[in-house]
Amino acid sequence: MLHRPPLPLSARRAKVLGGRVRVPGDKSISHRALLLGALATGRTRITGLLEGEDVLNTAKALNALGCPIKKDEAGAWEVFGRGVGGLEEPVADLDFGNSGTGVRLMLGVISGHSMTVRLTGDASLSRRPMARVLKPLELMGLEVLDKGRDTLPLIVRGSADLIPIEYQVPVASAQIKSAILIAGLHASGETTVIEPTATRDHTERMLSYFGARVTATKRQGLRAVSVKGDGELAGGDVKVPGDPSSAAFLAAAALIVPGSDVSIEGVLVNPTRTGFYTTLREMGADVAFTAERIEGGEPVADIRVRHARLRGVRVPPERAPAMIDEYPVLACLAAYAQGETRMEGLAELKVKESDRLAATAAGLLANGVAAKVDGDTLIVDGGRSVPGGGLVATHLDHRIAMAFLVFGLGADRPVTVDDAGMIATSFPEFRPLMEELGAAFAQPEAART
């Protein structure tokens, strides 16, 4: 159930967006820094941690498992690790709110501990399937006590004696891969994940940074990632770069509003996460990566985006893992591009916080844009005027809410999302940052009466 009243919000046509801003830390890296810091020995100090609800719920869960985590006077987060296998059974449920990443990666952690844990989440997370991550973890020794269940709430029991496996994931998923590799730290031997398409590699990079023995090879054209178990991780300093998925909303806004010129500092540009920017360039966008550097083992750059006339393109299915979270805002941007944009291979979007394929198409149709879903393909016919004036059902999905608030900045009439409250799960600074650039948001009249 929704534990707060909905917070509708409207976006109005903006004049010009401009400025230089920094987005919060990357959500994927923030989760992993906390989790691996908890499994390391010694102190891990994290700067730039995303302080959204999803990440903070992971921190609370680790605290409940006996790992002290606190924020220091300088604003950094300190994790006092317990070592591989050193966490304790919690006395209460672990509540992950809306975070699919948090709960799936935590299942990998719990797998290697002799403890029984009940995992819960909000209404949206409780609808999301867990079977694809539970299956390989059960092969390693995790026991699901709720037989037949594959959604939250779940009661699971881990084991201190996991079995290493070699597992080919049926779909490209960094969450499944990461959960298996994290569990593999607790197994005696080598655990290998074979993926059909390379997915974001933050877990491999961070495992290596903390001292795990990780290798990546090719097997018959597929990527195989292995981790050796029964090792030790050592705590250290982690600097979290800016989240490219959050930056995508600012970049799209600059491309929608004529005359705009926006720079976003310190953004992660890991090649497994830059599919959105590759697509923007194919559409004719003026996007530049500057001051490229390596920070904490990850490639980082400043991104400058200037308004440009866009054209519709075909986005191939093999690009989906590198931009899976950006499709809703890309679809909204496609409404302003000349011609048809086809986004293919998006089955994964049907099992996100909402059915993002259906929710995105419905939101566009409600605002006068021709859009349809054909199997796993989303098709948007853009280039005409964008009437706007519609109400978008967000289905408790933060990315749907942000995508359509950006979309409304160029529409003829205000665009309203039925609830903007859940934006805090991943990007609590979204509204103030957008308004700093020149965006105009307001509570709709109906909600004020």
Q: pLDDT tens digits for 120-145?
A: 999 889 998 899 999 999 999 999 99
> Could you state, in order of their start, the residue ranges of all structural domains in the chain?
9-25+241-448, 27-229
Query: How far apart, in whole angstroms, are the C-alpha atoms of residue 245 and residue 324?
Result: 9
**pLDDT score recorded for residue 3:** 61
**pLDDT score recorded for residue 231:** 87
- C-alpha torsion angle, residues 24, 28, 30, 32 (rounded to 10): -170
Q: Do domains 9-25+241-448 and 27-229 have the same CATH topology?
A: yes
What phi and psi, each to the nearest 5 degrees, are found at residue 221? Answer: 85, -5
9-25+241-448 has which fold? Answer: UDP-n-acetylglucosamine1-carboxyvinyl-transferase; Chain (3.65.10)
Determine which helix (DSSP H) or strand (DSSP E) holds 9, and give its type and residue range. Answer: strand 9-12
Query: How far apart, in whole angstroms, are the C-alpha atoms of residue 214 and residue 208?
Result: 6
**pLDDT score recorded for residue 232:** 95
Catalytic annotation, pick one of 54, 325, 397, 418: 325
Active site residue 72: no
CATH architecture group of domain 27-229 = Alpha-beta prism (3.65)
370-374/339-343 β-pairing:
unpaired
Cross-strand bridge partners of residue 274: none
**DSSP letters of 381-446?**
EESS---B--EE--TT-HHHHHHHHHHTTSSSB-EEES--GGGGGT-TTHHHHHHHHT-EEE--HH
For the chain, list residues with pLDDT below 70: 1-3, 446-449
pTM of the model: 0.88
Q: What is the CA radius of gyration of the chain?
A: 21
The dihedral sign for the CA sequence 309, 312, 317, 323: positive
Query: How far apart, in whole angstroms, are the C-alpha atoms of residue 31 and residue 109?
Result: 12
What phi and psi, each to the nearest 5 degrees, are found at residue 198? Answer: -60, 130
**pLDDT score recorded for residue 91:** 97
**pLDDT score recorded for residue 295:** 84
Query: How far apart, in whole angstroms, are the C-alpha atoms of residue 386 and residue 382?
Result: 8
